[in-house]
Amino acid sequence: MDDARIAVETGVDGVDVVIGTSSFLREHSHGKDMTYIKNTAIEVIEFVKSKGIEIRFSSEDSFRSDLVDLLSLYQAVDKVGVNRVGIADTVGCASPRQVYDLVRTLRGVVSCDIETHFHNDTGCAIANAYCALEAGATHIDTSVLGIGERNGITTLGGLMARMITADRDYVKSKYKLEMIKDIEELVAEAVAVNIPFNNPITGFCAFTHKAGIHAKAILANPSTYEIIDPSDFGIGRYIHFASRLTGWNAIKSRGQQLKIEMTDAQYKEVTAAIKRLADIRPIAIDDADSVIHAYHRNVMMGKKNPGNEVELPNMTDKEKKLLAEKQQEETAVPEKRRLEETVDEELEVEQPVKKARTNGITA
């Protein structure tokens, strides 16, 4: 109560009251029983409300608390006019199904707003937050990049990603989604951390496509491999074409960006050249571009094997040797296939002849 009085005297607009309700916290943290917790909560809420100030009451470690105790406590504070009650998955142990069940049950017990707070120790923070909304929660605690104790809490960007797939128009009308990237970069710099490569929305790989089959489909229709439109967040997609996994559609798209016109067969051949080189050493975008340009020059000069005459800048003797070996291997493959086809054809002819002779008929 003393803390509540001091808070009110500072001129705050709202007061947040939190106390552990699980047996773990009651025994090892504050040492209070449920009767004391309920009576004290009511006393504080009535005092703060008498001053015309908003008040929120939340249990801590809610999902390891006794359900009967929990609902009885929330019902009591709701009756005395608390503005909002909170559920906290303090140790990140809850599953989406548990969250939905508890919030749904609580929604039938209280008439006030319901706030939720989810830690990410088991990787369920975003899923739990979304399930809480589906069950009737009105508020979700989030932080930029999910920064918080241990593994942190529900990420703001991650929750937006989950929500926009459910109701794009509503989310776009309510939030300035294009600001997420700027906010995350600001916070990341301030606390000296890197934005994870697989972070929802803003991670380096979030809208990057590398495999050939993916790149082809994305170039035809982005919805094939993207459930979220990056432009909604002011971000562009990236087709990663400088790799051994690239496909000729991605190379063709890049070639057209470079204002280079070639046939599909030629784009397939230069793609094979890029994949060979990427097998030898990692290549950058500039490297891939130089190969495309070099191949195109070879075509325009009328060279017989334009794909076999392109190299990366500053290749070592060892790399050149490896390249030559790969070119020989690839050249040998069609010859081997033709030889196998010839043998198969001869066998097909030979088999009827043997059968005919076995039946005593001259072929």
Active site residues: 214
Give the end-to-end CA distance of the chain in Å, rounded to a whole number. 110
Tokens of 83: 């503005």
Rounded CA gap, 180 and 198, in Å? 15
Q: Do residues 48 and 82 make contact, with C-beta atoms less than 8 angstroms apart?
A: no
Instruction: Count how many residues are written for the chain.
Output: 363
- Distance of CA 297 to CAs 262, 276, 328, Å? 11, 19, 22
* DSSP structural state of residue 179: G
Rounded CA gap, 7 and 246, in Å? 60
Cα 220–chain centre separation: 22
Cα 305–chain centre separation: 43
